A and B are shown apart, each in its own frame.
Chain A
C-alpha cells in the first residue's frame, strides 16, 4: 500500500526516507519539486500528484512535507489519515513536529516508522501501544540514558496488544487517580464589512488526560447534548449509548487522548464574542491610505477576552504603516506585508483602537483588493457554544478519582472582511 515515505523540509531537501517494500530512488520526488515550484506557496501544492509509475500523496505539516509514494490505486483518505497519524505520533513523542526535532531523534523516528507500518500496511498506530514498545524521550530519561547507556527502546512485550481493550494497557497503577477534561472550542467565522455574520461555526474538541488505576469505565454526561451537530469519537466511546442516551460511556485509554470532536454549525446561532469597527481606505490621489480599527466585546457571557491579536495581510503596494495604538503594540513586516497588532486583554471600559496612515508605493494604482482582518483571541472558562459537562461517573473500580473540567474558547479561522 504505502511504498515509501520521504520527509522534505521547507527548502526542498529530503532529510529522511523510509522504504517498506523495495527501495525507490529519490528522483521520484522530482515530480513533487516541480509542482512545488509551480505552486509558489508551499501551502498550495496539491496533495495528490500523478507520475507515470507512482502516485505521490503528501501532507504539509509544521513546514514539512510528508510525501508518500504509492504504486497501486488506494483510498486517498486512508493514506492522508495515516500520514497525519505519523505526524501526530512524532508530535506526541517529541512535543513538536519540526525538522530539527526529527533530526535530533532520527533513530527513534526510524524505529517508530518501522513499527507503524509493515510491508506498507499500518501495524501499530495507537500511541499507547507504541509508547510501550518505544519509550518517548524525556529530559530526565535522556540524561539517564547518556549516563547509563540504556535507550528508549522497551524490552518487554507491550501488554496492551494482548488485552481485549486494544487502546488500554492492562495493569495500570497510579497513586493519585485523576481525570481531567478540557473542552476547547474554536470559532470559525467570516464577518462582512458591516459586522453581520456571513458564516460561523464552532469546532469543538474534548481533550482528556486520564490517569486511573485498573480498568475504569467512565460515563460523561452533558447538560445540553442536543447542541452538537456532528460528533466524532475516540474509538473507545460506545456509540450505541450516545445514540440512545446522549452520554459518553467509555473505558479510557491511559494518558492523554482526544475524546471527541464536534461541530456546532450555523443552524444554531453562534455567538460572536467581539465586534470590530474598521475602515481601511486608500486614496485615489497621493501615495497614502488611512486605517482605523476599534475592537469591543460583544457576546462574551461576562468573561474577559484575552490574548487578542489582529493580523492583516496588506496589499503589496503598501510600503509602510504609521499608526498609533491606544493599547498593545503593533508591528509591520515590510517583506511579508503583514501587520500584526497584539492587544492582549480586552478592557470593556476603554476599547482598544489602532489608527493612522499607510504609505503606498508612488505611481501604482490604488490597491483594489481590501485586506481582511484575522483575529485571534482566547476566553478562559467559557465554551462559547454553551456546552456544559454535568457529571462524570466511574464504574468498575473502587477508589474515588479526582475529577476536573476546564473550558476554553479560541478563535479559529476568524476573519473580518473590509
Chain B
C-alpha cells in the first residue's frame, strides 16, 4: 500500500520520540508510540525509528512495552546489531514478579528470530520451563520450537528434549499441548514425538480445549495399540468426541478412529454412521466455507457407504444465493444419492439449476443430469433435449458434451440423441461443444440426415478455425462419414485433406491428415478397420453405480486438504474429451477369439515414432489359462501390483467377460521412450479347466515383457 508523505511522518515521529518532554510524560510518550504502530500498519517504512523505539522499551508501563515489542518484532531482522540492546531489558523482564511481564518478555525474545541472539535467549528459556506460572511455561515451551526453527541443523539438546517430555505431565493442559507441538517440530527429523502407551493414555484422559484436542488426536494416529482390549478402551474414550459439536474435533476423531480400526471394517462403518448427524449439521452451518468442507468430506464417506445420506437428500438441494463452489459440490453429492424413489424429485431440482446465472454451475447441473442418465436415461434425455430448445450457447454446449458421454455408456440412447442434434450447431460456439458434436456426427453419421451439410459448414470454415481439437475431430469425423455415406462426403473430404496437408501450419493436424491419406491408399477395408473401431459395449458397466470402496482407500485423506482439492479434477476426468481418447483402438479381431479360453488382445502401442504403422500391424493374441470367476476388485488390486491399470471391465458373471488394461513403460537409457500399451482381456466362458489367478497374471506379465523386448529390438 503506497503511503504518501511517509518520510515526513517518520521525521516527525522521530522528533517526538527523542523529545525529552515527551519522554517524561507517560501519556504523550505512549500516544507517540501508538502513532508509530499505526503508521507501520499502513505500510509506512518506520524501520528508521528502531533505535528510538529500543529506548522506549525500558519502561515500567506494560502497555507501552507491548506496543514497543510489536514494533521490534517486525523490524528486528533488519537491525540485528541494535536488537542486541533490547536483550538486556528483556532478560531483566524475565525476572519480573508479574508473570504476565515474564511471559511477554519471553515470547518476544523468541519472536525476534535472530540467530545471533540465541545464546542470550537459552538461559531465560530454560528458567521459563520451570516457572511456577503456567502462562510462562506455555510460552517457554513453544519458545524452544521457535529457537529450533531458527537453526534447524543445530544439535538437539537432549536435556531440553527430556525436560519437554517431562512437561507432558504438566497440570496445565495448554502447556501439555504446547509440549506436543514443540516436540513435533524439534524432533521432525526423527519422525516426531515418540508415542508410547503411557503417553497415549495420559493424553487421551487429558483432552483439553478444542484446538489442543485436534492436535492430540492427530498425533495419536501414529500410535498402534498393543492389544485388542487396549484398542477398544481407546475407542470408547473417543466415542463422545465423535459427535462433538465442533466439526474440527469430530473430523479429527473420526480420522483417528479410522486409522485405529483399519483392521475392523465393521467398527469403522459404525463410526461413519455415527458422524452422519454432526456432518449434516456442518452442511447446514452458517459459514459457507464450513459447509463446503463438510460436503467434500461427505463425498469421501459416500465412497464407502453409498446409502449413508440416502434419506437426507433434500439437505443437498441448493439455495439460490449459495456460492457456485458449494452448488457444484452439492450436485455431485446428489448424483450419488439418486434412487428409484427420489429420481423424479432430484431431476426436477437439477433441471432448475441448469438455467443458473453462473455458467459453471449450469454446466455442472447438466453434466450431473447426464450422470444420472446412465441409470435413468429416458427421463434425463427428455430434460436434456428440452434444454436444447433454450438456444443458450453455454447450455447447448454442455448438453451436447453430456450427450456424447452418455451415448458412449448407453448406446441405446443414440436414436434420441441423433434426433436432438438437428439444428444445434448454430448455437454452439466453444470448441469443447463443437468437438462433441463432431464426434457424435462421425459415430452416428447414418442416423443424422443432415450430417454432411453440418460438416460442410465446418469444412468451409476450417481456415478460420483456431481450435486444434476441433480440426482433428473434424478430420476423423469426415473420414468416418465418408465410410458410411461416401457419395455425399467424398468431395468435401478431398477438400479438407488437401487443405490440411498443403496449408495447415500445425504439425499435429497435418500428420493426422497424412495418416488418413495413406490409409485411404491402403484400401477401403483397411480404413474401415482402423476408423470404425468398436463402438462402446452395452455390457460394459464400470462407470455406473460404482461399487462401495473399502474405507482404507480414502481414510488417510480424511480431514486433510486432499478431498477439497481433487473434486474439480475428478468430476471431469471421465467426461472431457472424446471417449475415444480412452479407447482409441484399431478393431481387434474378437471373432477370432471364439475358441480361446482367454485371450489377450493388444490394442495399440503409442510409441513416439511410427505411429501410423503401429496402427495397422499390431494385432496379437495370446492364450492364457482361464481365470476363475474372480471379483473385479481383486483382479484390479492384483493388476495394480504389477503396475497394470484396469480401464474398464464388464460386471462379473456376464459373458463374454472383458477387461481393458493399460500400462506404460519407460525405457531407460539415453532416449527416454515412453510406450503406452492397451490390452483387452477376454473370457468367452467356454473354459472348463480351472487355473489360479496368479498363473494368468504371470503369463500376462511374461507376455508383456516379451512384447516389450520385441518392441525395443525393433527400435534398434
Contacts of B355 in A (CB 8 A): 368-369
27 of the cross-chain contacts (CB-CB < 8 Å) are: A43-B288, A46-B325, A47-B288, A47-B564, A50-B565, A55-B561, A58-B289, A75-B218, A75-B248, A77-B251, A77-B559, A78-B211, A80-B290, A82-B211, A84-B287, A107-B38, A110-B41, A114-B70, A148-B27, A151-B63, A156-B100, A157-B133, A201-B284, A232-B246, A232-B278, A365-B391, A413-B321
Contact with B along A89-121 (1 / 0, CB 8 A): 000000000000000001100110010001101
B321 pairs with A47, CB closer than 8 A: no
Give, as a whole number of angstroms, the nearest-CB distance from A178 to chain B: 26
B560 within 8 A of A: yes
B91 within 8 A of A: no
B490 within 8 A of A: no
Contact with A along B198-220 (1 / 0, CB 8 A): 00000000001111001100100
Bound state CA distance, A161 and B171, in angstroms?
A: 12
A374 pairs with B321, CB closer than 8 A: yes
A121 pairs with B248, CB closer than 8 A: no
Contacts of A110 in B (CB 8 A): 37, 41, 70
A239 pairs with B248, CB closer than 8 A: no
Q: A80-B289, A119-B142, A153-B63 are in contact. Are A230 and B41 (CB under 8 A)?
A: no
B352 within 8 A of A: yes
B240 within 8 A of A: yes
Extra contacts besides A74-B561, A110-B37, A149-B30 (18): CB < 8 Å:
A41-B324, A43-B323, A44-B358, A75-B218, A76-B564, A78-B211, A81-B246, A84-B287, A111-B66, A121-B177, A121-B215, A123-B174, A153-B66, A157-B98, A162-B134, A199-B314, A235-B209, A368-B392
Q: Please tell me which one of the listed residues A60, A78, A118 contacts residue B248 in the complex, with CB atoms under 8 A apart.
A: A78
B115 within 8 A of A: no
Q: A75-B214, A162-B134, A372-B320 are in contact. Are A14 and B245 (CB under 8 A)?
A: no
Bound state CA distance, A368 and B396, in angstroms?
A: 14
Give, as a whole number of angstroms, the nearest-CB distance from B152 to chain A: 12
Bound state CA distance, A322 and B588, in angstroms?
A: 69
Contacts of B489 in A (CB 8 A): none
The 8 closest A-B pairs by CB, nearest first: A232-B245, A149-B27, A122-B211, A77-B248, A369-B355, A47-B289, A230-B281, A153-B63
Q: Please tell me which one of the listed residues A75, A203, A266 contacts residue B314 in the complex, with CB atoms under 8 A apart.
A: A266
Q: A15-B1, A190-B317, A199-B314 are in contact. Are A73 and B561 (CB under 8 A)?
A: yes
Nearest to B138 among chain A residues (CB) is: A123
A22 within 8 A of B: yes
Bound state CA distance, A368 and B390, in angstroms?
A: 8
Q: A75-B251, A121-B178, A263-B281 are in contact. Are A48 and B287 (CB under 8 A)?
A: no
Nearest to A23 among chain B residues (CB) is: B77
| Central interface residue in B38, B214, B312, by most chain A CB within 10 Å | B214
> Which residues between 41 and 74 of chain B lie within 8 Å of chain A, taking CB atoms?
41, 62-63, 66-67, 70
> Which residues between 169 and 212 of chain B lie within 8 Å of chain A, taking CB atoms?
174, 177-178, 181, 208-211
Contacts of A166 in B (CB 8 A): 208-209
Residues of A within 8 A of B (CB): 13-16, 21-23, 39, 41, 43-44, 46-48, 50, 55, 58-60, 73-78, 80-84, 106-107, 110-111, 114, 118-119, 121-123, 125-126, 133, 148-151, 153, 155-157, 161-162, 166, 188, 190, 198-199, 201, 203, 229-233, 235, 239, 261, 263, 265-266, 313, 365, 368-369, 372, 374, 413, 415, 417
Bound state CA distance, A2 and B138, in angstroms?
A: 18
Bound state CA distance, A239 and B133, in angstroms?
A: 31
Give, as a whole number of angstroms, the nearest-CB distance from B129 to chain A: 15
B211 pairs with A125, CB closer than 8 A: yes
Q: A44-B358, A107-B34, A110-B70 are in contact. Are A81 and B281 (CB under 8 A)?
A: no
Bound state CA distance, A122 and B210, in angstroms?
A: 10
Bound state CA distance, A413 and B37, in angstroms?
A: 42
Give, as a whole number of angstroms, the nearest-CB distance from B516 to chain A: 39
B107 within 8 A of A: yes
Q: Please tell me which one of the listed residues B135, B280, B560 contacts residue A75 in the complex, with CB atoms under 8 A apart.
A: B560
Q: Please tell me which one of the listed residues B30, B247, B314, B358 contacts residue A81 in the complex, with CB atoms under 8 A apart.
A: B247
B277 within 8 A of A: yes
Q: Please tell me which one of the listed residues B70, B210, B293 contacts residue A76 in the complex, with CB atoms under 8 A apart.
A: B293
Contacts of B277 in A (CB 8 A): 229-230
Q: Please tell me which one of the listed residues A44, A60, A201 contacts residue B324 in the complex, with CB atoms under 8 A apart.
A: A44
Contacts of B210 in A (CB 8 A): 81, 125, 235
| Central interface residue in B208, B247, B251, B281, by most chain A CB within 10 Å | B281
B178 pairs with A44, CB closer than 8 A: no
Q: A59-B289, A75-B251, A157-B135 are in contact. Are A263 and B358 (CB under 8 A)?
A: no
Contacts of A121 in B (CB 8 A): 142, 177-178, 181, 211, 215
Contacts of A22 in B (CB 8 A): 113
A155 pairs with B284, CB closer than 8 A: no
Give, as a whole number of angstroms, the nearest-CB distance from B580 to chain A: 30
Contacts of A149 in B (CB 8 A): 26-28, 30-31
B149 within 8 A of A: yes
Q: Please tell me which one of the listed residues A21, A76, A155, A203 contacts residue B560 in the complex, with CB atoms under 8 A apart.
A: A76
Contacts of A188 in B (CB 8 A): 284, 319
B245 pairs with A231, CB closer than 8 A: yes
A198 pairs with B38, CB closer than 8 A: no
Bound state CA distance, A23 and B113, in angstroms?
A: 11
Contacts of A123 in B (CB 8 A): 138, 174
Give, as a whole number of angstroms, the nearest-CB distance from A316 to chain B: 8
| Central interface residue in B174, B211, B315, B560, by most chain A CB within 10 Å | B211
Bound state CA distance, A169 and B37, in angstroms?
A: 31
Bound state CA distance, A15 and B240, in angstroms?
A: 42
Nearest to A263 among chain B residues (CB) is: B281
Contacts of A374 in B (CB 8 A): 320-321
Bound state CA distance, A49 and B561, in angstroms?
A: 10
Contacts of A263 in B (CB 8 A): 281, 284
Contacts of B321 in A (CB 8 A): 374, 413
Contacts of A157 in B (CB 8 A): 98-100, 133, 135
Contacts of A83 in B (CB 8 A): 289
Bound state CA distance, A304 and B77, in angstroms?
A: 64
B471 within 8 A of A: no
Contacts of B565 in A (CB 8 A): 48, 50
B113 pairs with A118, CB closer than 8 A: no
A16 pairs with B317, CB closer than 8 A: no
Contacts of B34 in A (CB 8 A): 107
A47 pairs with B292, CB closer than 8 A: yes
B371 within 8 A of A: no
Contacts of B290 in A (CB 8 A): 77, 80-81, 84
Contacts of B390 in A (CB 8 A): 368
B592 within 8 A of A: no
| Central interface residue in A46, A125, A133, A156, by most chain B CB within 10 Å | A46
Bound state CA distance, A148 and B31, in angstroms?
A: 11
Nearest to B316 among chain A residues (CB) is: A199
B142 pairs with A198, CB closer than 8 A: no
Contacts of B294 in A (CB 8 A): 77
Give, as a whole number of angstroms, the nearest-CB distance from A223 to chain B: 23
> Which residues between 270 and 294 of chain B lie within 8 Å of chain A, taking CB atoms?
277-278, 280-282, 284, 286-290, 292-294
B319 pairs with A118, CB closer than 8 A: no
| Central interface residue in B1, B139, B145, B321, by most chain A CB within 10 Å | B321
Contacts of B246 in A (CB 8 A): 81, 232
> Which residues between 88 and 146 of chain B lie within 8 Å of chain A, taking CB atoms?
98-100, 107, 113, 133-135, 138-139, 142, 145-146
B284 pairs with A203, CB closer than 8 A: yes
B380 within 8 A of A: no
Give, as a whole number of angstroms, the nearest-CB distance from B559 to chain A: 5
Nearest to A42 among chain B residues (CB) is: B323
Give, as a whole number of angstroms, the nearest-CB distance from A315 to chain B: 9
Nearest to A114 among chain B residues (CB) is: B70
Bound state CA distance, A203 and B135, in angstroms?
A: 38
Contact with A along B216-254 (1 / 0, CB 8 A): 001000000000000000000000100011111001100
> Which residues between 346 and 394 of chain B lie within 8 Å of chain A, taking CB atoms?
349, 352, 355-358, 390-392
